[in-house]
Copies of this chain bind each other. A is one copy, B any other.
Amino acid sequence: MCDECGCNERTIRVEEPVLKANDDAAIKNKSFLSEKGILCANILGSPGSGKTSLIEGLAGHIPPAAIAVIQGDLESEVDKLRLEGQGITCYQINTHSGCHLNAIMVANAIGDMILSGKKYLFIENVGNLVCPAGIALGQHVDLVVSSTCEGSDKPRKYPLIFMDADAIIISKTDLTDAVGFIEEDYLADLRKINGRAGIFRVSCKDADSFRQVANLLEHEWDHLTGAVH
């Protein structure tokens, strides 16, 4: 019996070489992007948490021409079309039944994309608060988008994905009162498992609310490229 679910344990064992292949590809992706001076952010969150809206909001503070996006969804090109409408280069991956992106998919995408002139590569992962946790893609930073509508108890109930985040983006803050989101409770649980992540609050109703996330990414890009203003 496997520890995870009490099922046949064989699945767990053979995943090891698969994860090794993933990690090797992730290291290559990160190295390739670092050499090109492109900061890669893995954007994680539940379905409908506001991952695409985060990218749209960031494009108000970062020139769209400097942004490339790899868009992960089971099906459809809905979000790709949204972002292309803002002049953002976007590459769609449809996983069909796959519950997260992996580094090999990202390597294939990077190989197909024209990245010259880009400063940022945003990977919008499949909407899922469980499975993408801990799957390296080659990213420099992990951003978790978590909407007020999902409730105050998410860090307590889904700790894995929050644990490794570099930044938590609390989205849909305009609905805080309407949905009874209690930030104090949310942060108390979060701080037990991740004391270092930056906390940001955004709302699509306030274009300026995305500025500080853009500043964080600019800071990380400076760090990556050794740029000094």
The answer to whether A4 touches B97 (Cβ under 8 A) is: yes
Interface mask (A98-109 → B, CB under 8 Å = 1, otherwise 0): 110010110010
Cβ–Cβ contact B7 & A22, under 8 A: yes
* Contact indicator A18/B10 (Cβ below 8 Å): yes
Tell which of A61-69, A123-131, A194-202, A218-226 binds the partner.
A123-131
Complex: A226 Cα to B15 Cα, angstroms: 46
Contact partner, A18, options B7, B95, B131, Cβ 8 Å: B7
Are B157 and A76 in contact (CB-based, < 8 A)? Answer: yes
Interface stretch, picked from A30-38, A148-156, A207-215, is A148-156
A155-181 CB contact bits vs B (8 Å, 1 = yes)?
011111000000000001011001100
CB pair B14 A11 closer than 8 Å: yes
| Residue A216 at the chain B interface, CB threshold 8 Å | no
Number of interface residues of A (CB under 8 A): 55
Q: How far is the CB of A222 from chain B (nearest CB, A)?
A: 34
**Interface presence of A60 (CB below 8 A):** no
State the Cβ distance, A190 to closest chain B Cβ, in Å: 13
Chain B residues in 8 Å Cβ range of A156: 75-76, 78
A205 to chain B, nearest CB (A): 10
> Is A73 interfacial (CB-CB < 8 Å)?
yes
CB contacts (< 8 Å) of A159 on chain B: these are 74-75
Does A27 reach chain B (CB closer than 8 Å)? no
**Known A7-B22, A97-B133; 20 more pairs at CB < 8 Å:** A3-B96, A5-B102, A7-B104, A8-B17, A46-B127, A46-B150, A48-B151, A73-B157, A74-B160, A75-B156, A75-B157, A76-B153, A99-B99, A127-B157, A128-B131, A147-B149, A149-B172, A172-B179, A174-B178, A175-B179
